Structure formats: structure tokens, C-alpha cells
Amino acid sequence: MRLKLAAGNWKMNGTTAALSELEALARAFPNPTVDVLICPPATLLHQAAESVRETGITVGGQDCHAATSGAHTGDISADMLLDAGANAVILGHSERREDHGEQNEDVRAKARAAMDAGLKAIICVGESLEQREAANTLDIIGGQMSGSIPDQSTGENLIVAYEPIWAIGTGKVPTLNEIGEVHDFIRTRLERRFGEGVGRSVRLLYGGSVKPSNAEDIFGVSNVDGALVGGASLKAQDFSGIIDALQKA
Ligand code: PEP
């Protein structure tokens, strides 16, 4: 059985005042029946981890460097995230791929570092609108998976997030059939590469304009084990609606 996961990506949003949203979330879900993860900006990670200590909520990073330490000004290692209280890290988000030119090999190296440090790697894959319209979605996803997912992956240390780039922050969402097609494809690829046991145990998240109003339908799609949520994770009330829907799914 895969434990469902609601993961929030705060991106570059939030100062210490935003921690009140996290505290409100912890009050609303003292004993969540699904995993709940919030990935705040790195500046808030330690405080965020402290504020949810001994609750059912955990925190994660939004990126890490592939090296364990060294001359990499401005970067953060997986060990540092762990030390700050993280148990997971988002890697290969399309905004990192676009803003920082991250390639599949970079994502794979970061994922290796994260797994070596004991973090769960949430590896993001997803097509652009142009790629979807050219009917290249599955080829793109397959290539990103082969290039970004390390060989050492297991159901414990790997989570894959399918995030169509054109659905992120736009209010546009693929049809349920389109989501199902990609999630089934990802599952099959994982089973083929890692064997049925591991392939079936990796959690697959959908991300892209998930809101309380569409969450129930999305969580009803086969092989959707939860969501990676951007905008709607910033407010406890919105994210609570999504967690509620996942708990009922
Ligand atoms: C994201 O950035 O991972 C994301 C899914 O954003 P949003 O929910 O705002 O579309």
C-alpha cells in the first residue's frame, strides 16, 4: 500500500509571518491519515521544522546541490537540508529546469546526493504545451525519467511528480484521462526498470493547478497517490481542502 502524500511547494514565497499558516495546518490536522509535507523557502526551513515537530506534518527543501560541501556560493547541500529538519527535497522542478538550465543529468546527480543523505527525492517531470500538442508527452516524460531518476531509487526514497509545465500556476488542468495516461505510463516505466515490487511502491504525485475544487476528481485517477501543490499550499485553508480530499480518496 502506498501512503498518500499531499506536498506543498511554497516556492519563493513566505517570510516568518507565513509560519502561522503552517501552524494553522498542524492544528487542523493533528493526526493526518496521509503524509503531509510542506517545502518552504530554505530561509524558513529550520523554523518550519521546529513548528511542526511532534505533529504529523513534515518539511522539505525545494532543491539541493549534488555535492556534499565545498565552494558553491549560494547553494545548499542535502546534508544541510537534513540538518535543518527536512526529510525530503523537490528536484528538477520545471522552474529550476527553466530558470537555472538544469538538465536531467543534474537532477539525477542531485537526487543521488539527496538519497545518499537520507532524504526522499521528489523528482518532477512534465511536458510543455508545445510538446503535448505535438503528441510528444510520453516520449518527453520517458526521457526525463531515464535521465533524472537514479539507479538507487526505491519506494522509500523516490517520489515522482508529474507536472505538465503548462498547468503550473495557470489554472489549466489536463483532463482526468490525460492525467491517468501519464501516471499509468510512469508506473509501467518504473516497474520495467526497477521490477514490480519497487515500481509499484513508488508514489506518483500530480501537480499543476490543484485546488480544493478539483482535488477529489484528480485523486480518483488511477496511480495518482497525491499532489504536489504550489499556489494552493500557501494558505492553510486551501491546502486543508486538498488534504481533506486526499484523506477521503
Ligand atoms: C508547482 O509549482 O509545483 C505547482 C504545481 O504549482 P501550482 O499548484 O500553483 O500550479
What's 55's domain CATH number?
Answer: 3.20.20.70
Please report the sign of the dihedral spanned by the C-alpha atoms of residue 171, residue 3, residue 64, residue 183: negative
Q: What is the pLDDT of residue 165?
A: 97
User: Measured in angstroms, how far is the CA atom of residue 147 from the centroid of ligand 1?
Assistant: 22
Provide mean pLDDT across the span 101-108: 98
Torsion of CA 112, 115, 117, 118, to 10 degrees: 180
CA distance 125 to 93: 7
Residues with CB under 6 A from ligand 1: 9, 163, 168-169, 207-210, 228-232
Distance (angstroms) between ligand 1 centre and the Cα of 71 equals 31
Looking at residue 186, its pLDDT comes to 98
User: Tell me: the pLDDT tens digits for 120-176?
Assistant: 999 999 999 999 999 999 999 999 999 999 999 999 999 999 999 999 999 999 999
* CA 5 to centroid of ligand 1, rounded, Å: 15
Note down the domain range covering 26.
Answer: 5-248
Could you tell me the distance, in angstroms and rounded to a whole number, from the CA of residue 22 to the centre of ligand 1?
A: 18
pLDDT at 122: 98
* Domains in the chain, number: 1
**Which is more confident, 1 or 138?**
138
Residue 203, CB-side half-sphere exposure with 13 Å CA sphere: 23
Q: Is the pLDDT of residue 59 over 90?
A: yes
Does pLDDT of 116 surpass 90? Answer: yes
Active site residues: 93, 163
pLDDT band at 1, cuts 50/70/90? confident
Quick: pLDDT tens for 178-191.
999 999 999 999 99
Choose which residue among 37, 99, 163 to substitute to test ligand 1 binding: the one with the highest number of ligand atoms within 8 A of its C-beta.
163
When pLDDT is averaged across residues 199-214 and rounded to a whole number, the result is 98
User: At a CB cut-off of 8 Å and minimum separation 6, what does 21 contact?
Assistant: 234, 235, 236
Q: Which atom of ligand 1 is nearest to the CA of 167?
A: 10
What ligand 1 atom has the least distance to the C-alpha of 93? 3
**0.95 exceeded by the pTM?**
yes
| pLDDT tens per residue across span 225-244 | 999 999 999 999 999 999 99
pLDDT of residue 91: 98
139 within 8 A of 107, measured Cβ to Cβ? no
